[in-house]
């Protein structure tokens, strides 16, 4: 077996205090404190955005409207296309969106404390793509089960309208917690750096993130660098009081669990398909790895229950998802497979 090395350079004395602090997170913002689907109407320049997909452009402002049961609330909203791979027209019919609000308008609404929100939009109009969207949402919810150090999400039924009020389509989507709000919730600092050394990562969170991406078959990430811009690729860094970096992963649409038809494997990994798993985590102490594995075993039934959901997807898709997650447990519950596929290939 490959010799494991210690990722952290600060010693283990700080871990209990850090873990205790991480459990004392503040309550989530109202948007993410409820699991019920949120029905909203977005009025904006969506035809123009879908045509141009210019992330630097300033598009005309629109509105977000929803009912709180007693009244209809309207919030001025600016929309901006976002993303990279899903921004390409050949991959997605509809652009992914940033929604930007005015702070004073969201007070005492379900969007209180939100200034800039990521909306994960259904990529194409077909029913299959609704299933892919739901699978990615489930991946976020699975990570929520395993650790508070994860982005909260909220499902929404969205009616898209032109600025003149003409309805274009009604489709599901989901909101993702902003990095700054996540940092505030966890009493950590949001940081922006280009790259870091792997021995600066907090080992428990880095191991949890790597194991989760292995479970869902997501090889399209990095915890220490980025293809462009701030670190990291499909992960953001928070920082604890001790100076260690805590990676929080996101964007799971390229995973084998979702199996979107546009998903591609990283070219340098020589994978046959996105369904083929590869462990890309860094080596760590055996007790750190075992503690993380213990969380996956503890929440096994809850994760399988999420995978088996059929509300927005076919029974076939749910069965395939359950089988895929189950195959991860086959690996981690077999010492030989665990050694061969994880501990012997850690970096």
User: What tens digit of pLDDT does each residue of 69-83 get?
Assistant: 889 999 999 999 999
Percent of the chain with pLDDT over 90: 90
Q: Say if residue 138's pLDDT is above 60.
A: yes
- pLDDT band at 21, cuts 50/70/90? very low
pLDDT for res 102:
95
How far apart CA 250 and CA 161 sit, in angstroms, is: 28
Average pLDDT over residues 83-89: 92
Average pLDDT over residues 1-13: 39
In angstroms and rounded to an integer, the radius of gyration of the C-alpha atoms of the chain is 20
Residues in CB range of 38: below 8 A, 6 or more apart: 31, 66, 110, 154, 155, 156, 157, 175
- pLDDT band at 19, cuts 50/70/90? very low
How far apart CA 97 and CA 31 sit, in angstroms, is: 17
Q: Say if residue 1's pLDDT is above 90.
A: no
3-class SS at 174?
strand
- pLDDT band at 122, cuts 50/70/90? very high
pLDDT for res 228:
79
pLDDT for res 25:
54
Q: Say if residue 17's pLDDT is above 80.
A: no
More confident residue, 10 or 273: 273
């Amino acid at each position: 077996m490959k010799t494991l090395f210690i990722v952290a350079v600060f010693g283990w004395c700080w871990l209990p205090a850090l873990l205790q602090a991480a459990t004392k997170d503040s309550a989530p913002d109202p948007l993410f404190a409820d699991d019920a689907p949120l029905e909203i109407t977005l009025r904006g320049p969506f035809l123009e955005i879908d045509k141009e997909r210019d992330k630097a452009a300033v598009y005309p402002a629109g509105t977000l409207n929803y009912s709180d049961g007693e009244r209809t609330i309207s919030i001025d909203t600016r929309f901006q296309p976002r993303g990279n791979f899903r921004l390409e027209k050949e991959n997605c019919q509809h652009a992914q969106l940033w929604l930007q609000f005015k702070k004073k308008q969201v007070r005492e609404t379900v969007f209180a404390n939100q200034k800039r929100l990521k909306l994960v939009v259904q990529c194409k109009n077909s029913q299959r793509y609704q299933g892919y969207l739901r699978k990615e949402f489930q991946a976020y919810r699975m990570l929520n089960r395993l650790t508070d150090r994860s982005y909260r999400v909220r499902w929404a039924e969205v009616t898209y309208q032109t600025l003149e009020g003409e309805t274009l389509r009604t489709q599901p989507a989901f909101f993702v917690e902003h990095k700054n709000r996540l940092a505030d919730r966890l009493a950590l600092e949001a940081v922006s750096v280009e790259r870091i050394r792997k021995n600066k990562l907090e080992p428990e969170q880095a191991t949890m993130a790597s194991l989760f991406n292995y479970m869902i078959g997501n090889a399209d990430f990095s915890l220490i660098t980025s293809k462009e811009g701030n670190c990291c690729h499909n992960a953001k860094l928070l920082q604890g009081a001790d100076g260690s970096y805590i990676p929080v992963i996101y964007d799971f649409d390229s995973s084998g669990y979702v199996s979107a038809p546009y998903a591609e494997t990283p070219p340098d990994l020589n994978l046959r398909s996105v369904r083929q798993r590869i462990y890309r985590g860094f080596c760590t102490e055996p007790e750190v790895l075992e503690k993380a594995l213990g969380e996956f075993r503890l929440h096994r039934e809850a994760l399988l229950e999420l995978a088996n959901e059929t509300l927005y997807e076919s029974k076939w898709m749910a069965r395939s998802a359950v089988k895929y997650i189950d195959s991860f447990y086959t690996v981690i519950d077999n010492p030989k497979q665990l050694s061969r596929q994880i501990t012997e290939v850690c970096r």
